[in-house]
Structure 1
Amino acid sequence: MSSFGRRRMLALLAAAAFAEPLLATRLTTATAATTGELAPLVMQVVAHEDDDILFMNPDLAASLATQVPTVTVFLTAGNQTGDPCQTNCGGQPDTDWERTQNRQLGAINAYSRMAGVSDTVPGTDEEGRWARDMLRVGDRSVERYVLRERPNVHLIFVNLHDGNLISLEQDRTATDFTVTPPPVDNHPPVQPTTYNGNQVAGLLKDLMVAYQPSVLRAQDEYPDPAKRWHPDHLAAARFAAEAALLYRAAQPGTAMNLVQVNYRDYNIETSPVNLEASAVTAKAGIFAEYQSHDHSTGNYSPDWFSRMYYRWSRGTSWAGVNADGRPQAFVVRNGMLYTCWRTTSGGWSDSLQLADPGGRLAPGIAVGTNSDGRLEVFAHRLSDHHIVSLAQNTPSQEWRQRWTDHGTPNPGNLASQVGSPVVANDDDDRLELFVRNAGGGLSSKWQTTPSGDWSSGWADMGGSDIQDPVSAVRNGDRRIEVFASTSTKMLSWWQTSRNGAFAGPGEIPGARPASPPKAVLNGAGRIHLAYRESGTGAMGISRQVAPGGSWTTPSFYQGHGGVGEPAATVAGGKVTLFERNRGTGVSSTVQATETVYAAWKDLGQTALDYPAAVTDFAGVAHVFVIGTNGRIYVHPMNTPDGTWHGPF
């Protein structure tokens, strides 16, 4: 073992005494608010020491740059790769522990870079910028690193064997033991800790109780079986989800502040490039810090550096307008649905939990308006992958206590590949529901009478390779049009008559999407279709030439960077677009003429992912975001109180 490894081992055996005060500080901060609101804290749970760098960036680096407290839990020791040399590495280290050490060093160097703390000796931690200890969690201990210059940045290593995590998740009678260091000098050996699957989930739950995260990041629980994925990534994501439910049972008050974000896995390599060049360079630089300790380059695809995709997009349809003109927004926290709204006095309500949906909800919420003015929200329920909805009992008033189950267009093993719902109104104001189906096409279901039942059954509308979610709007001829991005083009479907059947899919000319689209009807009755451009991250806008008519060649606006679909609303007859920008704030642009948009304006704030926007009956546009504390913020535009309000 190297001299550095021996010093490191002695530090671990000493179990530094500063650990508990740091943890106590977090607990004091978290429980201080009388409203039960938590200070922001982001927790990542991943299998390996590079999973977060490769698949959660640039989100991870951005949250560190904004000084949000961060803890990352690495479940495996990563002991199948990792090496001790800096250059010309021709072989692997001799022991599991040496490989584990070096992957840990790669992680702490990557986090040093993301946190803006650099070692003067690149590729090492010889200066001791990270303090190490053994953190007691319940009846177990885990290895923890704390960044001395940013003590709100923690890395936790559980050190289970690489490649064995999926067996623990699937077979709860199976056990594994931690990779542990060899004896050092006269110190007694560190004994391995044995885990079964229930104990892994329990450890994560205990860490959530201790740290009380407001955001939980994990990878894909439901990967597409037809594409490449990693079993340990799947296991880590499932353990994180299981632990979140255990956390909810153990501490229902604080656990209900938790917002979950899942990231797609290896299969992002088949999706369009959605990061701008500067973000690709930054991501590659972060990974280079890690890779100085893990030269197994054959395991990495360069396509991962230019992409980041959510497994369940929040979308931009999670706000609506009540029958009396007051905006209302919705957020999923720890699988349950919460809402806030503009009150009749002009303020904003506290957050209200709505009825139990009977299982965890995915974050993508779509808001529709029934013909009688009652709002209805639609979601994908993860426990059975059914589409479900909840409606108001009375327009602008209370909500029902029971969800409506709309089933799924794809019963069986592939139901998990069904997407998140969107809704639009037919000419007679019946709601029609659209969703990406498990075959990659489009499916729909509709009310048989205005504000009535949903007995139509599911209809397959064709298409393939569409990305989630889709967008739907009633056009200037009062016929619904639906839009969906694929990996290479933009598809559309359209009603051939009011309340009638659909034709398509057709193709929007010139569109090169790297995000789902957002369709909005402007004051002239023409649809504007906004989406990110593949390879640049610029905002592409395709416009109808006439209501319900053909399409122009798209225009592209560089904006302020970032990824993902825009939000859109119409105020004063003009479209306003909102994007989550490269700094995780919100930027906006407004339609200056029928064919030109004004310069982008940075509205500030910190957005967890994608905004939503609506216009109230007074003509005031409102943009909503979810903060890193899991709470809703709102910005009314062009009014005396035109600044951010919240949290709610």
Structure 2
Amino acid sequence: MPPISRAGTGRRRHGPLTAALCALGLLAGLTGCAHVEPTDRRGTRQAGAPHQAAPVPTGTWAGAGGRVRTAESVLQIVAHPDDDLYFINPETAQSLRSGRPLTTVYLTSGESDGVNAPRRQVPGAAAPARKPGDRGDKAVYAEARQNGIRAAYAEMATGDRATPWKRTVLHTAGGGRAELDTLEGHPHIRLVWDLLHEAGTLTGDRPHSLYGLWKGETSRLGSQLTSAGPVTRGFHVTRGALVDTLVGHLRRFRPTQIRMQDPTPGRLDRGGAYADHQDHFAGARFVQEALARYGDEAARGRVPHFTVATYLGYFNGGLPPVLGRRTAENKLRTLDTYAWTDRAERPCAFAAGCGDLKMVPRRQHHGWSHGIRHTGGDSVSWLRAGADGALWAYGVLDGRIAVRHRPPGAHARWSAPVLLPDKGIDPTLTAVGLPDGRTALLGTRTVTEDGPGGYRREVGWTVQRPGGAGAGSPAGFGPWHSLGTPEPGDLAGLSDISAPAAAVTPDGTVTAVVRTSRHQLAARVRQPDGTWLPWRALGGTGVHGDPAAAVDGGGRLFVFGATARTVLAWTRPAAGGPLSGPSATGLPAVTGPLTVRRDGHDAVRLHMRAPGSGHVLTARIGAAGLGTPGGPVRPARVADLGGAAGYGPVAVTRLPDGRTLLAARAENGDLQTAVVDERQDTAGGAPRAETVAARVRWSRTGFLCAGAPAGVSGPRDGDADLAVAGLDGHLYWARTGGSGTVGWSRA
């Protein structure tokens, strides 16, 4: 098993972490605990880096109507130089190509041991390996990493890595100094270097670090300057000063979307080591504290509303590859530029060097170069419809639940978002209908105001009050009701729970299911009389991401969780009783998140993504086809519906004529849609998957999305409503009409 690189840390290889992840099955599946080469559908290695293209609208679903134009401003905050390239890209490149403002903040200098060289010599590498006794120069290495980042951003934005930058000093709101870089000719593209000292170890005890500062093990964290930067005098920050600094960045750049690293990555089952770099999640927790303050300003209208996206870190490299060949190759090319892999052919004009040579050779990038996974914002159930055609959209703005309402009528307009009062709501929100017609919203909430000792995530819900279905106001929903958490505490699992999946059976029983830091599922049930039972462990091994749940037409509950190798299932009969499982589905490795919907009296239908291509897959699953322990499994027929090599969940809407409207993110970050007839695609004697994919027509919208789309069936024959949030924080909506839409409009 080849060693796996560790982005954003001084020690680029970590054998025990890799071994532990493999033991969990989280570096297995299609990756086989090795890197993945980009291939075409026949498995042939593809050479050469294709050009990156901007999103272009095509096809009938992209619009009748004018081109959608958005006005977003994105702020990315990461711990180390390169965390954005590994874990947020290709979305970084998508924003750069959009022409909209993008600012990336690097909290630490990523100075490591100061030696800018591979850990060991590799045949064919352009840079010599470090020699025993090399002492290094942290300021010089930090400068080299900055040079690599600037080259990578310039190349993504302009095609020319040599495009110059203007480097200036920024006095921060926390009393320190940062470096502000602006790409010449592109004043909307900026890099901010907060120049703080990094931990220098993934899991080691380093009190003088972001995590030490967050926990209170040190009262001040020092700076690490670079050898050629404009900031020439060192400084220290306290815990409060760092939060002030981040709030100052938010006020200065006024983002409509904030991208950050996962604040709750969990621990490994074996040994309890962090599953991500301590700088990654500690930095993200400081961002959460800043957002709690800044969200109050946004909620009062002093600054723009904003959405938040969080991204999986090191775990991403061990899961099945998400990105299609072209997108993965583009991402890998950017990493090559950052790592200065062509050092022998391209001299450098800077004394410190032009990139991070610890990332040489090229194959160390694999795994992370082929993946991107959000750890929040992937719900596809946030749009609800009334029998009269009224619509309600539920999202999260400024850390609060946002309710939007559209009355029935062809010329009705969407209301402005109304924010519910509870704070700290995480991005993923699940909406379910109760038997009495009301809507319940389930999600997770992060509690930060109690300081490090009280930091926690909890599952919770809020329910519409009787008569509040059309109110579209805070009075329409009750207060946030905490359901607690199956995690014993932050120190035990770093508060690592997934967003809840939820389903309601015909008798009114509500079941909420989450993945825990042990990579298993746990459920909490609300009985028809309103009583919530305690959390109950459901088991499973190696489950990752968010679970999915649905009820078939006969009232049977299905719950699914994906591992790196397959999909596991849990069921509960219509007559009630506890969930049983996990059962084998026989499905191959997939990427998600999973989407599951009712499909007839005795089955549900899953939608997911194919590893390595991003194609949309579908399979019909019934209880009779699930395996029992030690028993046979009848694998469901999986149909490949094609798609533009995208990633993320698939919104699924059943049309009145029996066909299905699919909506999902495309490789370029915009929305793609298709109408398919899945009944014939997964029936006995169905055509081959390649044939199905070839005849499905996918169309594009042409604007970048935040989170996942959602759809509902409309009140008229053949109609459906589709909505998605833009990066500008606004809701975008379209209604189908015959063969296409009546045009996208901003709510």
Would you say the 8 A contact 2:430–2:502 is kept in 1? yes
How many residue pairs get aligned? The number is 599
Distance 1:314 1:331, change over 3 A: same
Partner residue of 2:253? 211
Given the superposition, is the C-alpha separation of residues 74 and 144 from structure 1 closer, same or farther in structure 2, using an over 3 Å criterion? Answer: same
SS of residue matched to 1:233:
helix
The answer to whether 1:543 aligns with 2:609 is no
Query: Does the C-alpha gap of structure 1 residues 603 and 508 become closer, same or farther in structure 2, counting only changes over 3 Å?
Result: farther
Q: Under a length normalisation based on structure 1, what TM-score does the superposition of the two structures give?
A: 0.85
State whether structure 2 residue 444 is matched by structure 1 residue 397.
Answer: no
Match of 2:671 among 565, 580, 586: 586
Deviation track 1:231-287 (CA, whole Å, cap 9, x = no partner) reads: 111222112111212223456424561211111111212222111121221111001
- 2:570 and 2:582 in contact (8 A); partners too: yes
Q: 1:644 to 1:605 in 2, by over 3 A?
A: farther
Shift of 1:645: 4.2
CA distance in 2, matches of 1:371, 1:455: 17
The 8 Å contact of residues 78 and 283 in structure 2, kept in 1 or not, is answered as yes
Q: Does the alignment pair 1:566 with 2:650? A: yes
Contact 2:264 2:494 in 1 (8 A): no
SS of aligned partner of 1:169: helix
- SS of the residue aligned with 1:216? strand
Give the equivalent residue in structure 2 for 1:577: 662
CA pair 456-73 structure 1, distance change in 2 beyond 3 A: same
More deviation, 168-177/586-595: 168-177
CA distance in 1, matches of 2:505, 2:622: 22
| 1:564 shift after superposition | 1.4
Point out where structure 2 has 5 or more consecutive residues left out of the alignment. 1-68, 119-124, 200-208, 269-273, 341-354, 448-455, 627-633, 682-691
Q: Does 1:288 align with 2:336?
A: yes
Q: Deviations over 1:18-37 (max 9, x none)?
A: xxxxxxxxxxxxxxxxxxx9
Moved more, 279-288 or 597-606: 597-606
Q: Cα offset for 1:481?
A: 1.6
- Is contact 1:509-1:553 (8 Å) kept? no
Query: What is the 5 A alignment of 1:54-69?
Result: 54-69=86-101
Partner of residue 464 from structure 1, selected from 541, 546, 564: 541
SS, match of residue 468 in structure 1: strand
Does 2:230 align with 1:195? no
Offset of residue 625 of structure 1: 1.2
Amino acid at match of 2:402: Y
Which letter maps to 1:618? R
Q: Look up the SS of the partner of 1:229 in the other structure.
A: coil
Other-structure match for 2:687: none
Q: Counterpart of 2:358 in structure 1: which amino acid?
A: S
The reply on whether 1:377 has 2:412 as its aligned counterpart is: no
- Counterpart-to-counterpart distance in 1, 2:293 and 2:330: 36
Change in 2 beyond 3 A, CA 1:145/1:152: same
Shift of the 152–475 alpha-carbon distance from structure 1 to 2, 3 Å rule, reads same
Which residue of structure 1 aligns with residue 315 of structure 2?
267
Q: In structure 2, how many angstroms separate the alpha carbons of the residues matched to 1:182 and 1:487?
A: 43
Match of 2:214 in 1: 169
Give the conservation status (yes or no) of the 8 Å contact 1:521–1:570.
no
CA distance in 1, matches of 2:218, 2:170: 26
Q: Say if 2:105 is the partner of 1:73.
A: yes
Deviation, structure 1 residue 204: 1.2
Q: Hey, what's the Cα distance between the residues in 1 that align with 2:743 and 2:518? A: 41
Change (3 A) 1:301 1:461: same
Residues 111, 520 of structure 1: alpha-carbon distance in 2 compared, 3 angstrom cutoff: same
Q: Hey, what's the Cα distance between the residues in 2 that align with 1:260 and 1:298? A: 33
Residue 488 of structure 1: CA displacement? 0.9
Distance 1:67 1:370 in 2: 44
* Aligned equivalents of 1:248, 1:38: Cα separation in 2: 22
Amino acid at match of 1:66: S
Letter in 2 for 1:134: V
Residue 498 of structure 2: which of 419, 435, 457 is its match? Answer: 419
Q: CA deviation at 1:551?
A: 5.7
- How big is the shift at 1:369? 0.8
Q: Is the 8 A contact 1:48 1:76 kept in 2?
A: yes
Decide whether aligned partners of structure 1 residues 641 and 594 sit closer, same or farther in structure 2, where only a CA change above 3 A counts: closer
- Once the 2 structures are TM-superposed, how far is the Cα of residue 41 of structure 1 from its aligned partner? 0.7
TM-score by length of 2: 0.74
Q: Residue type matched to 1:147 in 2?
A: L
Contact 1:527-1:547 at 8 Å conserved across structures:
no
Q: Which moved more, 1:376-385 or 1:255-264?
A: 255-264
Task: Tell me by how many angstroms 1:624 deviates.
Answer: 1.6
Moved more, 109-118 or 295-304: 295-304
Report 1:39-438 matches (<5 A).
Answer: 39-80=71-112, 81=114, 83=116, 87-91=126-130, 94-119=136-161, 125=162, 129-138=164-173, 139-163=175-199, 164-171=209-216, 174-180=219-225, 190-226=232-268, 228-249=275-296, 252-255=300-303, 257-292=305-340, 293-297=355-359, 302-322=366-386, 324-346=388-410, 347-357=412-422, 359-383=423-447, 384-393=456-465, 394=467, 396-398=469-471, 399-413=476-490, 414=493, 416-438=495-517
**Cα distance, 1:332–1:250 mapped onto 2, change above 3 Å:** closer
After TM superposition, the structure 1 stretch with the greater mean CA deviation from structure 2, 49-58 or 163-172, is 163-172
Once the two structures are superposed, residues 322-361 of structure 1 have per-residue CA deviations (whole angstroms, 9 ceiling, x without a partner) of 364422111112310102122134423223334323x411
**SS class of match (2:426):** coil
Tell me the equivalent position of 1:605: 703
1:502 positional shift? 3.1
Structure 2: which amino acid aligns with 1:582?
E
Structure 1 residue 158: Cα displacement: 1.6
Greater Cα offset, 572-581 or 319-328 = 319-328
Aligned counterparts of 1:176 and 1:481: Cα–Cα separation in 2: 49
Amino acid corresponding to residue 386 of structure 1 in structure 2: E
SS of structure 2 residue aligned to 1:417: coil
Structure 1 residue 638, shift from structure 2 partner: 2.5
Structure 1: state its 5+ residue gaps.
Answer: 1-36, 120-124
SS in structure 1 opposite 2:248? Answer: helix
One-letter amino acid of the counterpart of residue 638, structure 2: P
Deviation by residue 1:203-224 (Cα, 9 ceiling, x = unmatched):
1111111111111111111111
Q: Distance in 1 between matches of 2:227 and 2:464?
A: 63
Question: What one-letter code is carried by the residue in structure 1 that aligns with 2:438?
Answer: R
How far off is 1:89 after superposition?
3.9
**1:194 shift after superposition:** 2.4
Conserved in 1, the CA contact under 8 Å of 2:70 and 2:703?
no
Q: Deviations over 1:186-208 (max 9, x none)?
A: x9x93223222221211111111
Evaluate the alpha carbon distance shift between residue 170 and residue 369 of structure 1 in structure 2; reply closer, same or farther with a 3 A threshold.
same
Contact 1:408/1:415 (CA < 8 Å) preserved in 2? no
Contact 1:380 1:388 in 2 (8 A): yes
**2:479 & 2:154 partners in 1: Cα distance?**
48
Q: Distance in 1 between matches of 2:430 and 2:227?
A: 55
1:88-123 C-alpha deviation (Å, 9 max, x unpaired): 34447953322222111101001011113404xxxx
Distance verdict in 2 for CA 1:344–1:545, change over 3 Å? closer
Q: 1:400 to 1:483 in 2, by over 3 A?
A: same
Q: Distance in 2 between matches of 1:158 and 1:338?
A: 32
Shift, 1:134, TM fit: 1.6
Distance 2:621 2:737 in 1: 27
Identity %: 23
Aligned pair in 2 of structure 1 residues 454, 298: CA closer, same or farther (>3 Å)? farther
SS in 2 for 1:481: strand
Compare relative contact order (CA 8 Å, sep 6+) and give the higher one, 1 or 2: 2
Equivalent-residue separation in structure 2 for 1:183 and 1:448 (angstroms): 64
Contact 1:328–1:339 (CA under 8 A) maintained in structure 2: yes
Q: 2:688 corresponds to which residue? A: none
**CA distance in structure 1 between the aligned counterparts of 2:282 and 2:484, rounded to whole angstroms:** 27
Look up the SS of the partner of 1:629 in the other structure.
coil
1:236 maps to amino acid = G
